[in-house]
Amino acid sequence: MTQTDMESENQEELRLLRESVRTLFDRAGGVGRSRKLRDSGGGWDGEMIRELAEAGVFGVAVPEENGGLGMGLAACGVIAEEVGRVLAPEPVVATVGLSLGLLRRLCPDHDMIGRLIGGDTVLATAWQERGPNGGPAEENCRYADGKLTGNKAWVVGAAEAQGFLVLAKGNTGPVLVMVEAGADGLSVEKLTQADGSTMGELSFAGTPAEEMAGGVAVPDALDEAVNDTAALAAAELVGLSERAFETALEYIKTREQFDKPIGSFQVIQHRAVDLHVTCEVAQAGVREALALMDSESDPKVRARLASRAKARAVTTAKKITRDAIQLHGAVGYTDEFDIGLYLNRALVLSAWLGDDAYHRRLWFDAREGEGAAQ
């Protein structure tokens, strides 16, 4: 088989994967389902988790020898784009990037991997801590004698998860431990975000925990998993931007002023073209970054690719959703119209794992470090 044939086969697999996931979400109700879940408390649908698992979604990036499909981040990006298009609240990116990303690197033979892939359980990853000034702080959560003590912040999906993967300090170094939801000494504070989704603040007071892995491999695996997740969040923002633009385009084709659709006005047409180009450039950039991350083994290079993708996607999502609101006029600010849901989700996803300014700074610092080393 030639290189061209292999690339064509790969693109066909991605196309079929996209169609499968899009059909699944459309059949479930699309963005209307997400709105209903938001209005009912900001959780997710357990049945949808199981359907996604049956479609193989959670095992896409897991190697075949560990029970996954071994298709890589580029395939995960296709799924993330479809999640973004319908604002699905299910923690697909967090599960694939963080939870499974950590487990497949640190304990690839643990049976929890199979449970996550099969949709039997959902684990939230708790790795950040809040300092006295409200910002991120150094890790102080302690694990000793099978007990966990301390606090964790900004935990995605904490309220609905069946358990937690927690990064902590052990007696001999960093450890990854697992805590069951409802364990003794565990307190979960639910915090509502701008889009109606929730994050959690965790508190551990002598909470029983199972050690999954330890040593210097833990922080290294965390860095890799966070970079993967940031790149996948960029893909989710690309899907969100694409659908937000389509929604605005549909509106300007039907909204009339002076007995004409406002889309017939040249200034609106020029603006729509600019948004289309912006969206296409971001889509191409993020997909390229994910494909390169699949073939790259150097953690520093992969980190730069992830930062490049996230910075581009955040800038694009904020521009397209804000401009789409303006193209809708005053009604764009009402909850009746879906475009506001896309703006709010864009704000939340943009902040998660670092916004565009943060990732541009990381990218430039890395490039300057390379130059100084040469």
Q: How many helices (H) and strands (E) does the chain have?
A: 12, 10
The pairing of beta strand 163-170 with beta strand 123-126: parallel
Q: What is the pLDDT along the chain (374 residues), one digit of tens a residue?
A: 554 555 566 788 889 999 999 999 999 999 999 999 999 887 889 999 999 999 999 999 999 999 999 999 999 999 999 999 999 999 999 999 999 999 999 999 999 999 999 999 999 999 999 988 877 778 889 999 999 999 999 999 998 999 999 999 999 999 999 999 999 999 999 999 999 998 999 999 999 999 999 999 999 999 999 999 999 999 999 999 999 999 999 888 877 677 777 666 677 888 889 999 999 999 999 999 999 999 999 999 999 999 999 999 999 999 999 999 998 887 888 888 999 999 999 999 999 999 999 999 998 888 777 665 55
Q: Cβ(89)–Cβ(34) under 8 Å?
A: yes
Domain boundaries, given as residue ranges, for the chain: 3-121, 125-215, 218-373
Tokens of 131: 């300092």
User: What CATH architecture does domain 218-373 belong to?
Assistant: Up-down Bundle (1.20)
CA distances from 252 to 121, 122, 289 (A): 43, 41, 33
Does residue 121 come out as left (phi exceeding 0), alpha (psi in the -120 to 50 range) or beta?
A: beta
List, in sequence order, every residue forming a beta bridge with 189; answer none if it has no partner: 201
125-215: CATH topology is Butyryl-CoA Dehydrogenase, subunit A; domain 2 (2.40.110)
Domain 3-121: CATH superfamily is Acyl-CoA dehydrogenase/oxidase, N-terminal domain (1.10.540.10)
Calculated CA dihedral for residues 321, 326, 327, 333, nearest 10 degrees: 80
d(CA 254, CA 250) in angstroms, rounded, equals: 7
**What is the pTM assigned to this prediction?**
0.93
Instruction: Name every residue whose Cβ is closer than 8 Å to that of residue 181 and which is 6 or more positions away in sequence.
Output: 161, 162, 163, 164, 188
d(CA 317, CA 95) in angstroms, rounded, equals: 22
Nearest one of 159, 161, 139 to 150, comparing CA atoms: 139
Does residue 101 come out as left (phi exceeding 0), alpha (psi in the -120 to 50 range) or beta?
A: alpha
